[in-house]
């Protein structure tokens, strides 16, 4: 049995989570195309059957909490086998614009609503989705601490924070997990927040390990994104960046073929072997996708294979990650 399929401890808590977690944003159907309830429910069930016990959702995944409701519907009967993480502080307004609001009263109301949608009395992890520039981080931290003390959240995390915000929050409410973007080509956290988390015993649970599907290696060079596919606006999917990324994936494919694994499995396995990373949030909207990525827990890349990948990353160079204006 590979070391990578063993549950990992979340921070200093007694909560253990699978290294591959299911990212439940795609099933909200807001930016992913071709989403339907039948496939979403099957994806959630397939995840558990494939050994995934960690589910990542948010108050704002869906205009009306579609993602949280689907989790309750598909997995309510297995609630006690799972670690559910949700987030507060982000919602969609009446014009369907993403809105950050981390005032204490909003955080508490959203947490109660999330618990109702999830049909549960507590979550294993409650994150602040992002800092709200209009609210002092310490004030939001106070509200999350109260929710933890009330037993509604067994632990607290934050997402999209810088080091200063992490330290301010942590002084008021102990942080168990940090959720930043991270993948082979987007590695900013290695400079500051990842070392801070290592030093403070905070788990790092990363999003976009497949770079929004690019590193799954299944989008062909001549792929044309339909207008409603939210990914088209990112430079990594455009022009020269797209060609360079496809060249990079060709190198990864040579390595993954040589060990009888898929590119997605190679990418997630590499991610899980990076120091300080506890779990990778793998988004999926179809059962076969999470079945494939969960397979990344079944093997361990050797030091030589990891080195080959690191050389390919260096040769690919820094990527442009900002969305096109
Ligand atoms: N805290 C935050 O601010 C934040 C922000 C973003 C995401 N997140 C969390 O992180 C999770 C992961 O991010 P993400 O879902 O945006 O991106 P991701 O995991 O990098 O990519 C997911 C997409 O990759 C494609 N994919 C996955 N497995 C595949 C497979 N085996 N074969 C082919 N394609 C495959 C699917 O796209 P298609 O089928 O559409 O091609 C899927 O929707 C989210 O679901 C969410 O839980 C958090």
Distance 150 CA to ligand 1 centre (A): 32
Distance 289 CA to ligand 1 centre (A): 10
Which atom belonging to ligand 1 lies closest to the Cα atom of 210?
Answer: 20
Angle at 103 between CA 98 and CA 104, to 5 degrees: 130
Q: Residue 324: what pLDDT? A: 40
Is 212 close to ligand 1, i.e. is its CB under 6 Å away?
A: yes
List the structure tokens of 1: 């049995």
Is 26 close to ligand 1, i.e. is its CB under 6 Å away?
A: yes
Evaluate if residue 319 carries a pLDDT over 90. Answer: no
Mean pLDDT of 150-163: 98
Is 209 close to ligand 1, i.e. is its CB under 6 Å away?
A: yes
List the structure tokens of 14: 């007694």
Q: Residue 317: what pLDDT? A: 84
Q: Residue 99: what pLDDT? A: 97
Partners of 186 in the β-ladder:
183
Least confidently predicted of 106-115, 141-150, 239-248? 239-248
Residues serving a catalytic function are: 61
Give the whole-angstrom CA distance, residue 65 versus residue 75.
Answer: 16
Evaluate if residue 325 carries a pLDDT over 50. Answer: no
Mean pLDDT of 312-318: 89
Q: Assign 322 a pLDDT band (cuts: 50, 70, 90).
A: low
Closest CA to 41 of 18, 12, 73, 13: 73
CA dihedral 42, 44, 49, 53 (to 10 degrees): 180
Strands 8-9 and 16-17: antiparallel
For residues 225 and 237, is the Cβ–Cβ distance under 8 A? yes
Return the domain boundaries, the chain.
Answer: 3-214+274-299
Evaluate if residue 320 carries a pLDDT over 80. Answer: no
Q: Tell the CATH superfamily of the 3-214+274-299 domain.
A: NADP-dependent oxidoreductase domain (3.20.20.100)
Distance 105 CA to ligand 1 centre (A): 31
Distance 134 CA to ligand 1 centre (A): 29
Q: What spatial distance separates the first Cα and last Cα of the chain, rounded to whole Å?
A: 47
Give the whole-angstrom CA distance, residue 100 versus residue 107.
Answer: 11
Distance 142 CA to ligand 1 centre (A): 31
User: In this predicted model, which residue has the larger pLDDT, 232 or 107?
Assistant: 107
Q: Residue 321: what pLDDT? A: 62
Q: Residue 100: what pLDDT? A: 98
Give the whole-angstrom CA distance, residue 264 versus residue 138.
Answer: 38
Average pLDDT, the chain: 95
Looking only at Cα atoms, what is the longest distance across the chain? 54
Q: Is the pTM of this model over 0.85?
A: yes
Best residue for ligand 1 mutational test, from 213, 245, 321 (most atoms within 8 Å of Cβ): 213
Give the whole-angstrom CA distance, residue 139 versus residue 141.
Answer: 5
Angle at 126 between CA 108 and CA 133, to 5 degrees: 65
Strands 177-179 and 98-100: unpaired
Phi, psi of 173, deg, nearest 5: -140, 120
Give the dihedral sign, CA 27/28/30/31: negative
Nearest CA to ligand 1 atom 41: 213
Is 67 close to ligand 1, i.e. is its CB under 6 Å away?
A: no
What's the length of the chain? 325
Mean pLDDT of 243-248: 94
For residues 218 and 243, is the Cβ–Cβ distance under 8 A? no
Best residue for ligand 1 mutational test, from 23, 59, 185 (most atoms within 8 Å of Cβ): 23
Mean pLDDT of 83-108: 97
- pLDDT single digits (tens) 185-220: 999 999 999 999 999 999 999 999 999 889 999 999
Angle at 185 between CA 56 and CA 271, to 5 degrees: 50
Is 295 close to ligand 1, i.e. is its CB under 6 Å away?
A: no
SS3 235: helix
Task: Report residue 246 CA to chain centroid gap.
Answer: 23
Evaluate if residue 302 carries a pLDDT over 50. Answer: yes
- pLDDT single digits (tens) 4-39: 989 999 999 999 999 999 999 999 999 888 999 999
Mean pLDDT of 89-110: 97
Give the whole-angstrom CA distance, residue 187 versus residue 173.
Answer: 27
Q: Residue 92: what pLDDT? A: 96
Which atom belonging to ligand 1 lies closest to the Cα atom of 33?
Answer: 40
């Amino acid at each position: 049995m590979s070391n990578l399929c063993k549950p990992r401890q979340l921070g200093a808590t007694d909560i253990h989570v699978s290294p591959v977690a299911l990212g439940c944003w795609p099933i909200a159907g807001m930016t992913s195309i071709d989403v339907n309830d039948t496939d979403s429910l099957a994806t959630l069930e397939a995840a558990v059957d494939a050994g995934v016990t960690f589910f990542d959702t948010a108050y704002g995944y869906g205009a009306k909490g579609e993602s949280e409701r689907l989790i309750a519907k598909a997995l309510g009967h297995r609630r006690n086998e799972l670690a559910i993480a949700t987030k507060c502080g982000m919602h969609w307004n009446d014009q369907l614009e993403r809105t950050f609001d981390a005032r204490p009263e909003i955080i508490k109301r959203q947490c109660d609503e999330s618990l109702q949608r999830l049909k549960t009395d507590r979550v294993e992890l409650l994150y602040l989705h992002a800092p709200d520039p209009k609210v002092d981080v310490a004030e939001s931290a106070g509200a999350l601490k109260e929710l933890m003390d009330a037993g509604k959240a067994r632990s607290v995390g934050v997402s999209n924070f810088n080091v200063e915000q992490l330290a301010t929050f942590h002084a008021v409410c102990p942080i168990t997990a940090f959720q930043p973007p991270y993948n082979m080509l987007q590695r900013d956290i290695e400079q500051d927040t990842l070392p801070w988390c290592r030093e403070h015993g905070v788990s790092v649970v990363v999003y976009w390990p497949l770079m929004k599907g690019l590193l799954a290696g299944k989008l062909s060079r001549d792929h044309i994104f339909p207008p409603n596919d939210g990914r088209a606006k990112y430079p990594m999917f455009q022009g020269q960046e797209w060609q360079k990324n496809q060249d990079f994936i060709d190198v990864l494919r040579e390595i993954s073929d040589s060990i009888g694994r898929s590119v997605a499995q190679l990418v997630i396995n590499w991610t899980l072997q990076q120091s300080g990373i506890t779990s990778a949030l793998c988004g999926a909207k179809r059962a076969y996708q999470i079945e494939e990525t969960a397979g990344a827990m079944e093997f361990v890349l050797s030091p030589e294979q990891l080195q080959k990948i690191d050389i390919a990353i260096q040769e690919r160079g820094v990527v442009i990650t900002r969305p096109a204006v």
